Copies of this chain bind each other. A is one copy, B any other.
Amino acid sequence: MSKRVYLDYSATTPMKKEVLDEMLPYFTEKFGNPSSIYSFGREAKQAVDTARERVAKLIGAKTNEIYFTAGGSEADNWAIKGIAYANKDRGNHIITTKIEHHAVLHVCEYLEKNGFDVTYLDVDKYGLIDLEVLKNAITDKTILISIMFANNEIGTIQPIKQIGQIAKERGIIFHTDAVQALGNVEIDVDELNIDLMSMSAHKIYGPKGIGALYIRKGVKIHSFVHGGAQERRRRAGTENVPGIVGFGKAALMAMENMDHHINHLKMLREKLIKGIMEKIDYVRLNGHPEKRLPGNVNMVYEFIEGESLLLSLDMVGIAASSGSACTSGSLDPSHVLMAIGLPHEIAHGSLRLTIGDFTTEEDIDYVLEQLPKIVDRLRQMSPLYENVKGGQK
A residues contacting B by CB (< 8 A) are: 1, 4, 6, 8, 11-17, 19-20, 24, 27-29, 31-33, 35-41, 69-74, 76-77, 101-104, 106-107, 109-110, 200, 202, 207-210, 223-229, 236-243, 307, 310-311, 313-314, 317-321, 327-329
Contact = CB atoms under 8 A, between A and B. Distances in A.
B207 A242 contact: yes
Copies in the complex: 2
A33 B8 contact: yes
Contacts of A202: 238
A103 B209 contact: no
Contact of A209 (B4, B40, B200, B243): B243
A15 B31 contact: yes
A110 B319 contact: no
B103 A237 contact: yes
Contact of A225 (B35, B74, B319): B74
B240 A70 contact: yes
A378 B223 CA distance: 39
A99 to B, nearest CB: 15
A342 B49 CA distance: 36
A15 B37 contact: no
Given A38-B310, A207-B242, A107 B227 contact: yes
Contact of A238 (B71, B76, B310): B71
Contacts of A109: 226
A33 B73 CA distance: 15
Given A36-B321, A41-B319, A77-B236, 8 more contacts: A12-B31, A13-B31, A19-B27, A37-B327, A70-B225, A73-B237, A102-B236, A229-B329
A209 B69 CA distance: 9
A102 B237 contact: no
Contacts of A74: 70, 225, 237
Contacts of A239: 208-209
Given A70-B240, A208-B242, A36 B15 contact: no
Contacts of A236: 73, 77, 102-103, 106
Contacts of A1: 39
Given A12-B238, A33-B8, A103-B236, A70 B209 contact: yes
Contacts of A40: 4, 6, 8, 319
Given A36-B319, A202-B238, A313-B38, A27 B12 contact: no
Nearest to A246: B27
Give the top 8 A-B pairs by smallest Cβ distance, nearest first: A209-B240, A103-B227, A70-B70, A73-B237, A106-B226, A38-B314, A14-B31, A38-B319
B227 A73 contact: yes
B29 A14 contact: yes
B77 A225 contact: yes
Nearest to A30: B14
Contacts of A319: 32, 36, 38-41
A20 B14 contact: no
Given A70-B240, A226-B77, A37 B208 contact: no
30 contacts: A1-B39, A6-B40, A8-B32, A8-B40, A12-B33, A14-B28, A15-B28, A20-B24, A20-B28, A36-B321, A38-B318, A41-B319, A70-B71, A70-B209, A71-B240, A73-B227, A74-B237, A77-B236, A101-B227, A102-B227, A103-B227, A104-B227, A106-B223, A207-B242, A208-B239, A208-B242, A209-B210, A209-B242, A229-B328, A240-B243
Contacts of A313: 38
Contacts of A224: 77
A14 B6 CA distance: 34
A102 B20 contact: no
